[in-house]
């Protein structure tokens, strides 16, 4: 080969080699490939971590929700079952490792632990042994605690409770008190008692805390004729005028024609007064202020006596009112009277206090009986009726019998009716007849007879006798019309509505109402069942089953397994 050609070829090869050595084109591709590989590795690890965190977060959220639900004091189901159900529905049943549950007198605590081992996808691409694992562990503990429990026992003591019924009630209620109080070592539970029949009687110190009007001042008779508007709320105002229930027998009937005020159909039938005096065997038939003194509570229960009609609406109203926060000033008074311990002086608690629970146990053996109350004009103050000082005989003044057209006609007026004589006189009966010529005078004063006030009259004779002798016979009005003028009746349907109004208001405030219908008729059972917080809070008891009902309620309260 030509040497020149070979030499030229050698020169060209050296130049190409030098040029190749000096050329930097393509280096970025190598760098990019390396960096892309690293980024893909990191992205894969990131995906593994995101997947891990997603599982861990879901697991923790399930733990939190499950323990909160299981620890709820209104939870009926077994705590472990609740937690496992939450994990099953979250498709994490295999995560759960531990469930611990503890329920004390006033608290419920649930602890749960969960764990799952995850095999990451991308991390193990770089681990030839495929041994990389991620473990998601979680734990949650939930506690719901109620520090304070307020209970009102609203108990029927109407006449139909006499005998075995009342005996069984006393035994059941006393056992209830023992059961509930036995675990209260921190003075957290208070129990009050509201006995009711046709009315609710108050101890004197409690009545004096309200704005009582038309008070007859009869000892141990301290019921109020609650205005209809009081059933529109849970409160009972201490400033609103509250008429004291007249100490009158409005229910007993009488005879037509004249009968003496001492006749058996004229005198008061004590059991037919709407507010029987809480004396003698009736000492327990008054409100017992909330306390945790077991001895005092059981003594009060044992002092209950059966008498009178049935006003479930009034009983529940007082029970609910004494759980209402507005009653706090009443508790202050109860403490001052030594009826309630000082450490309960800050009760009743607010409805939204999550560390407090309010409970009413409402019991009846009957149904509503139309309540009667004496109308205002006949309830209190001076009456137009006179009583002779020397004999137990009466007369009444009727203004309509005074002819004021002239002085002569005034003189000749005979406005005093004397029932036992069926005659009209010019003056009150004082044991003797006035002269036929005796003038009536609008300014005269009288001796030998005393004008009666209504409360004194009602202490001695029944309302129907007064209507018959002093109005029906002399004026010719009907007995029904005169009775309606003197007293009012609350229709049973109205009482039923009032009861359900208070039930609804209390339940809306999360007051737990347990209802016991004790050998009650159909209507009574329906009233109590509708009032109870739920079907699980209602008991239809016969005979000794009332003990079972109270026992179940006491156990539920002690364990705080309250259903909603």
Got the DSSP string for 219-285?
TT---B---GGGGGSS---SSS-EEBPPS-B-S----SS---TTSTTTB--GGGBSS----GGGTTS
Per DSSP, helices labelled H in 422-491 are: 454-458, 463-467, 473-475, 479-486
* pLDDT tens-place string over residues 157-177: 999 999 999 999 999 999 999
Q: 255, 523 in Cβ contact below 8 A?
A: no
Confidence of residue 147 (pLDDT cuts 50, 70, 90): confident
Whether 2 has a pLDDT exceeding 80, the answer reads no
pLDDT, tens digit, 9 for 90 and up, residues 125-141:
665 555 677 888 889 98
Mean pLDDT of the residues in the chain = 90
Asked whether the predicted pLDDT for residue 11 surpasses 70, the reply is no
Phi, psi for 344 (deg, rounded to 5) = -100, 10
Confidence of residue 27 (pLDDT cuts 50, 70, 90): low
B/e letters for 353-368, b = 16+ CB within 10 Å, e = fewer, are eeebbbbbbbbbbbbb
pLDDT value of position 197: 97
The predicted structure's pLDDT at residue 490:
97
Gap between the Cα atoms of 211 and 208, Å rounded: 7
Looking at residue 68, what is its pLDDT? 86
Closest CA relative to residue 107, chosen from 291, 379, 357, 324: 357
What are the tens digits of pLDDT across the range 538-562? 999 999 999 999 999 988 776 543 2
Tokens 């879901």 belong to which residue?
Answer: 58
Asked if 198 contacts 248 with a C-beta cutoff of 8 angstroms, the reply is no
Q: What is the pLDDT of residue 393?
A: 98
- Sort strands 134-145 and 107-118 into parallel, antiparallel or unpaired: antiparallel
Relative orientation angle of helices 312-321 and 522-531, to the nearest 10 degrees: 20
Is the omega angle on the peptide bond into residue 29 within 30 degrees of 0, that is, cis? no
Name the residue with higher pLDDT: 7 or 81: 81
Neighbours of 392 (CB within 10 A): 10
What local confidence, expressed as pLDDT, does residue 553 receive? 92
User: What SS3 state is found at 295?
Assistant: helix
Residue among 308, 315, 316, 318 nearest 250 (CA)? 308
pLDDT score of 21 more than 70: no
Q: Which has the higher per-residue pLDDT, 394 or 147?
A: 394
Looking at mean pLDDT, say which of 51-65, 93-107, 343-357, 467-481 comes out highest.
Answer: 467-481
pLDDT of residue 477: 98
Helices (H), 311-365: 312-321, 328-336
State both tokens at 481. Answer: 């019309």
Q: How large a percentage of the chain has pLDDT more than 70?
A: 88
């Amino acid at each position: 080969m030509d040497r020149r050609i070979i030499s030229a070829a050698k020169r060209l090869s050296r130049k190409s080699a030098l040029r190749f050595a000096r050329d930097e084109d393509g280096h970025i591709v190598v760098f990019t490939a390396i960096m892309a590989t690293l980024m893909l590795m990191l992205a894969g690890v990131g995906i593994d971590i995101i997947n891990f965190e997603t599982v861990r977060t879901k697991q923790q959220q399930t733990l939190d929700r499950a323990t909160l639900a299981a620890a709820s004091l209104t939870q009926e189901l077994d705590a472990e079952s609740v937690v496992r159900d939450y994990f099953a529905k979250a498709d994490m049943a295999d995560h759960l490792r531990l469930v611990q549950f503890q329920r004390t007198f006033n608290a419920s605590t649930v602890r749960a632990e969960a764990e799952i081992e995850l095999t990451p996808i991308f991390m193990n691409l770089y681990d030839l042994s495929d041994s990389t694992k991620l473990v998601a562990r979680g734990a949650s503990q939930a506690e719901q605690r109620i520090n304070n429990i307020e209970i009102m026992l609203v108990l029927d003591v109407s006449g139909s409770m006499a005998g075995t019924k009342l005996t069984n009630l006393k035994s059941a209620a006393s056992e209830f008190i023992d059961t509930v109080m036995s675990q209260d070592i921190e003075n957290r539970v208070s129990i009050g008692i509201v006995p009711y029949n046709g009315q609710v009687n108050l101890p004197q110190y409690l009545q004096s805390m309200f704005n009582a009007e038309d008070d007859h001042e009869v000892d141990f008779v301290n019921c109020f004729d609650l205005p209809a508007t009081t059933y529109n709320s849970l409160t009972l105002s201490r400033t609103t005028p509250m008429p004291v229930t007249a100490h009158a027998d409005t229910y007993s009937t009488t005879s037509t024609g004249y009968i003496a005020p001492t006749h058996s159909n004229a005198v008061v039938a004590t059991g037919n007064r709407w507010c029987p005096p809480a004396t003698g065997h009736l000492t327990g038939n008054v409100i017992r202020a909330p306390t945790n003194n077991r001895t005092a509570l059981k003594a009060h229960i044992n002092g209950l006596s059966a008498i009178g009609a049935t006003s479930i609406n009034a009983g529940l109203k007082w029970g609910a009112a004494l759980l209402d926060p507005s009653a706090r000033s009443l508790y202050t008074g109860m403490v001052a009277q030594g009826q309630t311990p000082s450490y309960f002086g800050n009760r009743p608690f607010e409805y939204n206090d999550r560390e407090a629970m309010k409970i009413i146990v409402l019991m009846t053996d009957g149904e509503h009986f139309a309540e009667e109350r004496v109308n205002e004009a006949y309830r209190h103050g001076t009456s137009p009726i006179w009583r002779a000082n020397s004999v137990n005989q009466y007369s009444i003044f009727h203004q309509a019998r005074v002819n004021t057209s002239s002085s002569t006609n005034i003189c000749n007026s005979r406005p005093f009716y004397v029932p036992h004589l069926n005659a009209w006189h010019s003056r009150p009966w004082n044991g003797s007849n006035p002269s036929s010529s005796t003038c009536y005078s609008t300014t005269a004063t009288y001796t030998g007879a005393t004008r009666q006030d209504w409360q004194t009259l009602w202490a001695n004779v029944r309302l129907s006798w007064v209507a018959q002798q002093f109005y029906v016979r002399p004026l010719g009005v009907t007995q029904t019309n005169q009775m309606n003028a003197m007293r009012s009746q609350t229709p049973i349907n109205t009482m039923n509505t009032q009861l359900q109004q208070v039930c609804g208001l209390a339940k809306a405030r999360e007051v737990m109402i347990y209802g016991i219908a004790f050998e009650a008729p159909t209507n009574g059972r329906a009233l109590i069942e509708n009032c109870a917080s739920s079907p699980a809070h209602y008991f239809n008891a016969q005979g000794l089953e009332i003990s079972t009902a109270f026992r179940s309620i006491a156990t539920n309260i002690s364990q705080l397994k309250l259903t909603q």
